[in-house]
Protein backbone atom coordinates (compact mmCIF):
# COMPACT_ATOMS: atom_id res chain seq x y z
CA UNK A 1 0.00 0.00 0.00
CA UNK A 2 1.31 3.40 -0.96
CA UNK A 3 0.63 5.55 2.11
CA UNK A 4 1.92 8.69 0.41
CA UNK A 5 -0.59 8.32 -2.43
CA UNK A 6 -3.41 7.65 0.06
CA UNK A 7 -2.57 10.81 2.01
CA UNK A 8 -2.42 12.78 -1.22
CA UNK A 9 -5.90 11.52 -2.23
CA UNK A 10 -7.27 12.50 1.19
CA UNK A 11 -5.86 16.00 0.92
CA UNK A 12 -7.14 16.39 -2.64
CA UNK A 13 -10.64 15.26 -1.69
CA UNK A 14 -10.77 17.59 1.32
CA UNK A 15 -9.41 20.51 -0.71
CA UNK A 16 -11.98 19.98 -3.46
CA UNK A 17 -14.86 19.96 -0.99
CA UNK A 18 -13.51 23.02 0.83
CA UNK A 19 -13.15 24.88 -2.44
CA UNK A 20 -16.66 23.92 -3.51
CA UNK A 21 -18.28 25.08 -0.29
CA UNK A 22 -16.44 28.40 -0.42
CA UNK A 23 -17.46 29.12 -4.02
CA UNK A 24 -20.85 30.62 -3.16
CA UNK A 25 -24.23 29.25 -4.03
CA UNK A 26 -24.18 26.70 -6.83
CA UNK A 27 -27.02 28.58 -8.53
CA UNK A 28 -24.73 31.62 -8.76
CA UNK A 29 -22.39 29.90 -11.16
CA UNK A 30 -24.04 26.73 -12.43
CA UNK A 31 -27.70 26.19 -13.25
CA UNK A 32 -29.10 22.97 -11.81
CA UNK A 33 -29.61 20.13 -14.27
CA UNK A 34 -33.08 18.82 -15.04
CA UNK A 35 -33.31 15.58 -13.07
CA UNK A 36 -35.79 12.78 -13.74
CA UNK A 37 -38.15 11.92 -10.85
CA UNK A 38 -36.70 8.43 -10.42
CA UNK A 39 -38.36 6.72 -7.41
CA UNK A 40 -35.80 6.05 -4.67
CA UNK A 41 -35.82 5.02 -1.00
CA UNK A 42 -33.57 6.09 1.85
CA UNK A 43 -32.15 4.06 4.74
CA UNK A 44 -35.47 4.34 6.59
CA UNK A 45 -37.57 3.28 3.59
CA UNK A 46 -38.90 6.80 2.98
CA UNK A 47 -39.58 7.69 -0.69
CA UNK A 48 -37.38 10.24 -2.48
CA UNK A 49 -36.74 11.41 -6.00
CA UNK A 50 -33.52 12.93 -7.31
CA UNK A 51 -35.04 16.45 -7.52
CA UNK A 52 -36.17 16.14 -3.87
CA UNK A 53 -32.76 14.91 -2.76
CA UNK A 54 -30.98 17.88 -4.31
CA UNK A 55 -33.63 20.55 -3.76
CA UNK A 56 -32.38 23.53 -1.81
CA UNK A 57 -28.83 22.23 -1.79
CA UNK A 58 -26.02 24.74 -2.17
CA UNK A 59 -23.36 22.14 -2.96
CA UNK A 60 -23.99 18.47 -3.64
CA UNK A 61 -21.39 15.73 -3.60
CA UNK A 62 -22.84 12.72 -5.39
CA UNK A 63 -21.18 9.33 -5.22
CA UNK A 64 -22.15 5.87 -6.37
CA UNK A 65 -21.65 2.71 -4.36
CA UNK A 66 -23.14 -0.60 -3.35
CA UNK A 67 -23.03 -2.10 0.11
CA UNK A 68 -21.44 -5.36 -1.03
CA UNK A 69 -18.53 -3.53 -2.65
CA UNK A 70 -15.16 -4.55 -1.23
CA UNK A 71 -12.78 -2.58 -3.46
CA UNK A 72 -13.44 1.08 -4.30
CA UNK A 73 -16.53 1.92 -2.22
CA UNK A 74 -15.11 1.60 1.32
CA UNK A 75 -12.09 3.91 0.76
CA UNK A 76 -14.20 6.33 -1.29
CA UNK A 77 -16.80 6.52 1.49
CA UNK A 78 -14.11 6.92 4.16
CA UNK A 79 -12.41 9.74 2.23
CA UNK A 80 -15.66 11.61 1.67
CA UNK A 81 -16.62 11.19 5.32
CA UNK A 82 -13.23 12.48 6.46
CA UNK A 83 -13.62 15.52 4.18
CA UNK A 84 -17.13 16.06 5.57
CA UNK A 85 -15.77 15.94 9.12
CA UNK A 86 -13.12 18.54 8.27
CA UNK A 87 -15.76 20.79 6.73
CA UNK A 88 -18.00 20.32 9.77
CA UNK A 89 -15.16 21.32 12.11
CA UNK A 90 -14.74 24.53 10.09
CA UNK A 91 -18.49 25.23 10.05
CA UNK A 92 -18.85 24.73 6.29
CA UNK A 93 -21.53 22.03 6.10
CA UNK A 94 -24.61 24.25 5.94
CA UNK A 95 -26.22 23.57 2.56
CA UNK A 96 -23.87 20.66 1.81
CA UNK A 97 -25.58 17.49 0.62
CA UNK A 98 -23.67 14.22 0.57
CA UNK A 99 -25.71 11.94 -1.64
CA UNK A 100 -24.69 8.32 -2.18
CA UNK A 101 -26.69 6.37 -4.74
CA UNK A 102 -26.60 2.59 -4.71
CA UNK A 103 -26.01 0.92 -8.07
CA UNK A 104 -27.40 -2.37 -6.71
CA UNK A 105 -31.11 -1.87 -5.98
CA UNK A 106 -31.69 -5.63 -5.92
CA UNK A 107 -29.12 -6.13 -3.16
CA UNK A 108 -29.39 -2.82 -1.30
CA UNK A 109 -32.56 -2.11 0.61
CA UNK A 110 -33.07 0.21 3.58
CA UNK A 111 -31.57 -2.33 6.03
CA UNK A 112 -28.37 -2.66 4.01
CA UNK A 113 -28.10 1.13 3.69
CA UNK A 114 -28.49 1.59 7.47
CA UNK A 115 -25.85 -1.09 8.14
CA UNK A 116 -23.46 0.56 5.66
CA UNK A 117 -23.96 3.97 7.31
CA UNK A 118 -23.36 2.46 10.75
CA UNK A 119 -20.20 0.67 9.56
CA UNK A 120 -18.67 3.93 8.33
CA UNK A 121 -20.09 6.23 11.02
CA UNK A 122 -22.07 8.29 8.51
CA UNK A 123 -24.52 10.80 9.99
CA UNK A 124 -27.75 10.21 8.09
CA UNK A 125 -30.14 12.99 7.12
CA UNK A 126 -33.08 13.18 9.50
CA UNK A 127 -36.60 12.40 8.22
CA UNK A 128 -37.88 15.99 8.36
CA UNK A 129 -34.62 17.67 7.38
CA UNK A 130 -35.07 18.47 3.70
CA UNK A 131 -32.35 21.14 3.92
CA UNK A 132 -28.84 19.78 3.61
CA UNK A 133 -26.50 20.23 6.57
CA UNK A 134 -23.63 17.87 5.86
CA UNK A 135 -25.53 14.70 6.64
CA UNK A 136 -25.49 11.76 4.28
CA UNK A 137 -28.45 10.70 2.24
CA UNK A 138 -28.08 7.10 1.10
CA UNK A 139 -30.58 6.18 -1.59
CA UNK A 140 -31.42 2.98 -3.44
CA UNK A 141 -33.82 2.22 -6.26
CA UNK A 142 -36.76 -0.10 -6.51
CA UNK A 143 -36.09 -3.81 -5.94
CA UNK A 144 -38.03 -4.93 -9.03
CA UNK A 145 -35.75 -6.11 -11.83
CA UNK A 146 -36.14 -4.45 -15.24
Specify the pTM: 0.75
Asked whether the predicted pLDDT for residue 138 surpasses 60, the reply is yes
The helix (run of H) or strand (run of E) holding residue 78 is helix 73-89
pLDDT confidence of residue 77? 94
Angstrom distance (rounded) from CA 17 to CA 48: 25
User: Residue 144: inside a domain, yes or no?
Assistant: no
**Taking a C-beta distance cutoff of 8 angstroms, is the pair 98, 57 a contact?**
no
Helix and strand element counts for the chain (H, E): 5, 5
Domain enclosing residue 31, as ranges: 3-139
Interval 41-47 mean pLDDT: 93
User: Residue 90: inside a domain, yes or no?
Assistant: yes
User: Residue 146: inside a domain, yes or no?
Assistant: no
User: Residue 118: inside a domain, yes or no?
Assistant: yes
Interval 118-132 mean pLDDT: 81
Q: How many folded domains does the chain comprise? A: 1
Q: What is the CATH number of the domain that holds 74?
A: 3.40.30.10
**Taking a C-beta distance cutoff of 8 angstroms, is the pair 142, 102 a contact?**
no
Angstrom distance (rounded) from CA 59 to CA 50: 14
Contacts (Cβ under 8 Å, ≥6 apart) of 31:
none
Amino acid sequence: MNCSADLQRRRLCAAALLAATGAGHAADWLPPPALPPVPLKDADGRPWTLPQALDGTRVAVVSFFFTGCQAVCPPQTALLNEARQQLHERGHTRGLRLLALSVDPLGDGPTQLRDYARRFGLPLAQPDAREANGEWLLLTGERTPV
